Chain A
Amino acid sequence: MIDVEKIRKDFPILKRKMQGHDLIYFDNAATTFKPQCVIDAVVHYYTELGANAHRGDYELSYLVDSEYEGTRKAVAGFIGADEKEIVFTSGASASLNQIAYGYSRFLKQGDVILSCEAEHASSILPWMRVAEEKGCIIKYIELDEEGRLSIDSLKQLLLDGKVKVVALAHVTNVLGYEAPMKEICALAHQAGAIVVMDMAQSAPHMKINVKDIDCDFAGFSAHKMCGPTGLGVMYGKYELLSEMEPYMLGGGSNARFDMCGNLLLKEAPYKYETGTPPIEAVIGFKAALQYLDQIGMDEIHAYEKELHEYAIEKLSKLDNITLYNPHADACIITFNVKDVFAQDAATFFNSQGVAVRAGHHCAKLLTQKLQTSATLRASCTFYNTKEEVDRFVDICSQASIENCLGVFF
């Protein structure tokens, strides 16, 4: 069982106020706050190391390299991969774009790429471009009434033997459902397709072993898991990483080149890391992973599940709240205040010190499954408390259109 009061003391920003109220930060699916140990690690780089990575022949640069590579090792351990299968990118979006660009060389006209209607833009848009350029076809795995992926539909779509890529979120960012990725990978592999797993919403909240799941590629962001912004991870099976090409070329990723156009790239993962990376973020990310490990990913998952059930039980008693995903696997609550446009409600929550996100979604997902044009999303993590949920529920009950407009006067 985690000690949330002790944990909250590790996050200096939780002491601040918003609009004169104690801050309740329920936008953790967008990004998470950073514990002091991560902030210290970032400052440590700037105050004590300072040099570039993979560049110099002096003590400071050696120290930077060893810390930088230390994070790669920590990431590999965190997701059950090999060090050489871990590529640092600028974030999950960059990882997923690199995977689509890199793998597109193996695709040809008529090949099918499978996605679903609940995907994040960063998971589907790179493949839409690949499809356009290569003449591939994107097909969508159906969702059931609740918005969960239908395995029957996946099996059906795999039958034609043309599917080469299955690109899916491990946990969807709007509805918070976990896809059975291990089963999906087995089915896809049987049919001759590779699987790309978007871990942006799962990596921060549960223990994941990519080897056990057997996905071929994965991507996630450091900043959603208490790490610094501007950093992400691309995981790929080493053989695939070796065969693929980077979408960026330049300093740091090449071994040799000449003016006749001959280019020898470094081996993976280094051939994907062109230019100076956010070194302080990489060093800070190791502190974040150690921090999460110390609390325990299983403990974090259990606590968030408990918090989610607690919130859903209370919210479902309110007549003025529509819940769209009460059975979510993640602590992501997608909802609306009846008769109040999402953005007007979000402003009311802001005026009470509560940070939630108003958003609009892919038209098809919304019109067919949610039957609304915009929703609010409250997403919790392990430093949120039941007391915060209580206050949030109380504010929900007051969120009338009159009160939502009242905040302007």
Chain B
Amino acid sequence: MNDLMQDPMVLRQIIMDHYEYPRNHELTHDETYMSRHMASDSCIDDIYVEAKIHDHVIEDIRFDGVACTIATASTSIMSELLKGKTIDEANKIIENYHAMIDGKDYDEDLLEEAVCMHTVGKQANRIKCATIGWKAIEEMIKESE
């Protein structure tokens, strides 16, 4: 992996960039999209995630809502990373992302910018912020099958 991606300054900048300029940050409210409202009482993040999955391909992912830096950035990165992927490819990326968050072995190359979340476990109560958007897409992938 690129050495730059080991540099905390760079990783922090990736998070800030996705927080200040979140990608795919507009809901379509289109009926051909699936939708998930992700909000729990143990966490103040409150986001909606939409996905269009057709023929085992994730054609589009959208999100919006009120959330912290970690939840916003991790969901924004997820939306870029998984858009256009087949369900098999996406599942492999998701599996590696969770392995990384849980401190297990993972394939950095598959995760691209998402590696900026690799130390989120240092603040254990924020793991749910780093996975909230990912859980939404997992649920929608399951629903599509």
Contact = CB atoms under 8 A, between A and B. Distances in A.
Contacts of A360: 44, 46, 66
Contact of B12 (A341, A343, A358, A409): A409
A128 interface: no
Contacts of B66: 360, 373-374
Interface stretch (A6-14, A32-40, A146-154, A400-408): A400-408
A350 B124 CA distance: 11
Interface stretch (B27-35, B67-75, B85-93, B135-143): B67-75
A393 to B, nearest CB: 22
In this complex, the member of B45, B67, B68, B129 whose beta carbon has the largest number of chain A beta carbons within 10 angstroms is B68
A404 B46 CA distance: 20
Nearest to B73: A405
Given A343-B129, A409-B8, A401 B122 contact: no
B57 interface: no
A168 B45 CA distance: 28
Nearest to B46: A360
B11 A409 contact: yes
B123 A408 contact: yes
**Number of chain B interface residues as a range:** 20 to 34
Contacts of A374: 44, 66
A388 B98 CA distance: 38
A374 B126 CA distance: 16
Interface in A18-35: none
A344 B70 contact: yes
A351 interface: yes
Nearest to A357: B44
B69 A342 contact: no
B111 to A, nearest CB: 16
Interface string B33-68: 000000000011110000000000000000000111
Contacts of B125: 347, 350
Nearest to B123: A347
Contacts of A373: 66
A344 B16 contact: no
Chain B interface, >50% SS class = helix
A145 B49 CA distance: 36
Interface string B1-36: 000000010011001100000000000000000000
B15 A405 contact: yes
B12 A347 contact: no
Contacts of A344: 68-70
Given A343-B44, A343-B129, A358-B44, A409 B67 contact: no
B16 to A, nearest CB: 7
B119 A409 contact: yes
A237 B104 CA distance: 59
B44 A405 contact: no
B46 A408 contact: no
A310 to B, nearest CB: 28
Contacts of A343: 43-45, 68, 126, 129
Contact of B123 (A342, A358, A402, A407): A407
- Which residue among B66, B69, B70, B129 has the maximum number of chain A CB atoms within 10 Å of its CB? B69
B120 interface: yes
A86 to B, nearest CB: 30
Nearest to A121: B41
Given A404-B69, A409-B11, A409-B12, A347 B44 contact: no
A405 B69 contact: yes
Query: Which residue, A343, A350, A405, A408, has most C-beta atoms of chain B within 10 A?
Result: A408
Given A341-B68, A341-B69, A351-B123, A406 B44 contact: no
A351 B122 CA distance: 9
A367 to B, nearest CB: 12
A405 B43 contact: no
Interface in A360-409: 360, 373-374, 401-402, 404-409
Which of B8, B15, B123, B125 gathers most chain A CB within 10 Å?
B123
B145 to A, nearest CB: 33
Given A347-B123, A373-B66, A374-B66, A342 B44 contact: yes
Given A341-B67, A344-B68, A401-B16, 8 more contacts: A342-B68, A374-B44, A407-B123, A408-B12, A408-B15, A408-B70, A409-B11, A409-B122
Interface of B: 8, 11-12, 15-16, 43-46, 66-70, 119-120, 122-123, 125-126, 129
17 contacts: A342-B68, A344-B70, A350-B125, A358-B44, A359-B44, A360-B46, A360-B66, A373-B66, A401-B69, A402-B12, A405-B12, A405-B69, A408-B15, A408-B120, A408-B122, A408-B123, A409-B11
